[in-house]
Chain A
């Protein structure tokens, strides 16, 4: 229980750290980033009131000898902001907080406060099992050769 509180507190600390972190200009994470970029968390002890100031990011040890050195990874909840969804993952080694990973971030401009609402991306056709199609299909002629007509025909079988 004590550990849970600790983990949650540091999650929040990590969240605020990432929230305050100003990313570089080229970051463009529209969905969950894999592999996720590790970022160095700035000190948040002043603003978060976390029991222990987060330290700089270090690679987590590959194995742990004792329980107190166990690597614990926790994911913050996905938080909606007016700029999109932000979610962080915080890794602990024993009592030490070792990494913050951005799982989801809004499409990022220079700083979070200046995020554009819009995302630009290359047009990419996806194939998926779809139920219907939105598109300007306003004549019987264009309907005949449309994906929607194919879907309707399938439904009538």
Chain B
């Protein structure tokens, strides 16, 4: 059993690993991976691959496989969301953060699984990947933060092998921009998406939040995901298949 919390990639990252055995090495590798991702993909670091590509110092042919994968994912979700989700806004630099986070955390979860870890909960800034059951017969219980009360939850979800991501703008107004207008997204307080992997969950949550109220039906129409959205009239919209804890 291992618990570790670090601030990496500008995110508080918590790992709660319940398997018996020695996983010290892979846990170290996971946090090293997050630091590497930060160094390579942060648009806020001058010498990151993302910054160098954005300044034209690297051509597409010179990019790493990883960054190409991230940029492909960005393009995919931009198209899927009709431009609401956008990694490059007019007048701004390339910012693939919205995809990088989910992608990097899912990769970390896959690293843990590859080393035999089967029972863990990895939480990066409120985006969660779970595996197995913390106790026999009991799924992980994932609280959905109440959008207006930091220490309350507005729902509790059950998860075994899956991913849950939330996009929200709780206190200081929205920092997620609607890529179609370039202005802060409005209409929703928080968007939670449950999916099989965190790349999907995170990107859909961000895109739906960026879309505003039309993001509710848009997200609900995506296959293989479940959603819980709180709109700005404090109504909760959720899909029927959402695994709510009783």
Report whether B14 and A132 are in contact in the complex, using a CB–CB cutoff of 8 Å: yes
Q: How large is the interface on A (under 10, 10 to 19, 20 to 34, 35 or more residues)?
A: 35 or more
> Are B126 and A117 in contact (CB-based, < 8 A)?
no
Q: How far is the CA of A131 from the CA of B16 in the complex (A)?
A: 9
B126 touches A135 (CB 8 A): yes
Interface residue B239 (Cβ < 8 Å from any Cβ of A): yes
1/0 per residue, CB under 8 A from B, across A126-147: the answer is: 1111111111111110110111
Contacts of B153 in A (CB 8 A): 125-128, 130, 133, 147
Pick from A122, A132, A140: contact of B16, CB under 8 Å: A132
Q: In the complex, what distance in Å separates the CA atom of A127 from the CA atom of B141?
A: 11
Q: With A118-B220, A136-B125 known to touch, is A131 a contact of B237 (CB < 8 Å)?
A: no
What is the chain A residue whose CB lies nearest that of B219? A118
A137 touches B145 (CB 8 A): yes
A residues 49-75 with Cβ under 8 Å of B? none
Interface size on B, residues (CB 8 A): 57
Q: A128-B153, A130-B153, A143-B12 are in contact. Are A120 and B235 (CB under 8 A)?
A: yes
A136 touches B166 (CB 8 A): yes
In the complex formed, the residue of B with least CB distance to A117 is: B220
Q: Which residues of B contact A (CB under 8 A)?
A: 3, 5, 7, 10-12, 14, 16, 121, 123, 125-128, 130, 134, 140-146, 149-157, 164-171, 190, 192, 216-217, 220-221, 230, 234-241, 245-246
**Chain A residues in the interface with B (C-beta under 8 A):** 31, 83-85, 106-107, 117-140, 142-143, 145-152, 155-156
Known: A119-B237, A133-B126. 15 other contacts (CB 8 A): A118-B237, A121-B235, A122-B236, A123-B146, A123-B154, A128-B143, A131-B140, A131-B141, A134-B128, A134-B157, A136-B126, A136-B170, A148-B123, A150-B151, A152-B3
